[in-house]
Amino acid sequence: MDLGEGLRKAIARLQHATIIDTKTIREFNKELQKSLLGADVEVELVLNFTKSIEDKALKSRPPAGLAPRDYITNMVYEGLVELMGRSYEPKLKRQRILLMGLYGSGKTTTAAKLAKFYQDRGLSAALICCDVARPAAYEQLETLAKQANVMFFGKKGEKDASKIVKEGLEKFKDKQVVICDTSGRNALDSELINELKRVADVFKADERIMVINADIGQVAGRQAMQFHNAVGMTGVIVTKMDGSGKGGGALSATNAAKSSVMFIGTGEKLSNIEPYNSEKFIGSLLGVPDIAGLVSNVQIAIKEAQLKPEEVEAEELNFETFYAQLRAMGKMGPLKNIFGMMGASDLPKDVVEQGEEKLNKYKAIIGSMTKEERSNERILHNPTRIKRIAKGSGVTEKDVHQLISDFNKMRRMFDTLKNDRSFRKRFANMA
């Protein structure tokens, strides 16, 4: 059970409790403790957190009109926000960013993600490869730079990282955001410290950021303190937050070590990085819908899918426009993340997997249709066409019929919502 699932179950029990008394609060706290400890949050932090919840819940009264269970739920939300650290607002201005970290932290990929993040927001970005220790680091960052459509500089075979930095800065003096990817090690040793200090002296970074893998949990706090004491840090980026059960441990530990989390990595794609927003993060754990995040992801997906305006705001739903929307959905990441933003984090795993499989199958089927078939569903009611499409997409004829049936249901819903002015107005206000 991940942290979010455990917290949601604990709160659901509280919501169903008929009486909120000392026994109820203590049982609720036990569930909170189990969830937080399971996510590798440090024991002392967990005990202090749950004790504060118990003290406030038993010694204070909810405001008039607010149910005790809702009052306590809000208390948990605010306490978790405090435990995991405050939000970060990126500075969209000219800057130099030095990335540090040990092997396996995801530092090189993060460098490219960060460059893309700033470039997508109107700042010219460039990457300097100063990882002179790891084989193939140069090739990896060069490839990622091309994918992110940002400038790249490195010197293959050069072992003096400070020389590379000096030349890179000269080459990129017209760029607004310059990011330097440094060497890593299995541990922070004197050799790495000295190399980082030499690079930092030449690079003169505005931000010195350590990259940490969420999988290491509460060890993140110790690593952050070691790097800060050795070379100084302005913040932390936590990677692999999407697939780690120890993400809460990493965030709380870095916060306890007084290291601000600046960004979190939320997936493998270069667009899967976001400024750390504690309210949004805790909201996702507790199952609160993130409409703003969903709208933002949709807009990014539309841009990456290179969709035309008429495909996005279609007046008519046909297979052509539906196919364009499926492509955009594919750019938004796993269905699990999309459902999470809608506040439906606890859908059964098999339901989500079946949904992913069905959407992929639908894309393959529509991809095998002719342009005429995509724009006119009626001509598909022809056994010869069905057989050809099934063969071309590697599915059964039954699958093609199922798509047509599902599509017609969606089209009826689309037409209803299109004509419902009050619904459109409400959705526009949410967005």
Q: Kindly write down the DSSP assignment for every residue of 105-135, as one continuous string.
A: S-HHHHHHHHHHHHHHTT--EEEEEE--SST
Residue 422: burial class (beta carbons within 10 Å; 0-12, 13-18, 19+): exposed
CA distances 384 to 380, 387, 391, 393, 406, Å, are 9, 5, 11, 14, 20
Pair of tokens at residue 425 = 């107005």
DSSP result, 183-222: P--SS--HHHHHHHHHHHHHH--SEEEEEEEGGGTTHHHH
Place of tokens 């659901």: 12
Q: What's the CA gap between 2 and 262, in Å, rounded? A: 23
pLDDT tens string for the chain (431 positions)? 578 888 888 888 887 777 888 898 999 999 999 999 988 999 999 999 999 999 988 888 877 777 787 888 888 888 998 999 989 999 999 999 999 999 989 999 999 999 999 999 999 999 999 999 988 999 999 999 999 999 999 999 899 999 999 999 999 999 999 999 999 998 888 999 999 999 999 999 999 999 999 999 999 999 999 999 988 999 999 999 887 788 889 999 999 888 999 999 988 889 999 999 888 888 777 765 443 444 455 455 545 555 455 444 455 667 777 777 666 666 655 555 555 544 445 545 555 456 677 778 888 888 899 988 888 888 888 889 999 999 999 989 988 888 888 777 777 766 665 555 554 454 444 44
- What's the pLDDT at 182? 95
- What's the pLDDT at 275? 94
Pair of tokens at residue 39 = 């996510």
Q: What's the CA gap between 142 and 140, in Å, rounded? A: 5
- What's the pLDDT at 414? 63
Cβ 151 vs Cβ 125: under 8 Å = yes
- What's the pLDDT at 15? 76
- What's the pLDDT at 66? 75
Say how many C-beta atoms besides its own lie within 10 A of residue 250's C-beta.
33
* Total H helices, total E strands in the chain: 20, 8
Domain ranges of the chain: 3-84, 95-281, 291-430
Place of tokens 């009264």: 61
CATH fold of 291-430 reads 434 Repressor (Amino-terminal Domain) (1.10.260)
Specify the DSSP element, H or E, that contains 319: helix 319-331
Ranges of beta strands (E only) in 297-348 are none
Pair of tokens at residue 378 = 């009626």
Pair of tokens at residue 275 = 């400024």
Cβ 298 vs Cβ 112: under 8 Å = no
Q: What's the CA gap between 70 and 422, in Å, rounded? A: 30
- What's the pLDDT at 309? 53
95-281 to CATH, choices 3.40.50.300, 1.10.1300.10, 3.40.190.10, 3.90.320.10: 3.40.50.300
Q: 270: helix, coil or strand?
A: coil
Pair of tokens at residue 306 = 């290179």
Give the sign of the dihedral formed by CA 167, CA 171, CA 173, CA 177.
negative
Question: What is 3-84's CATH number?
Answer: 1.20.120.140
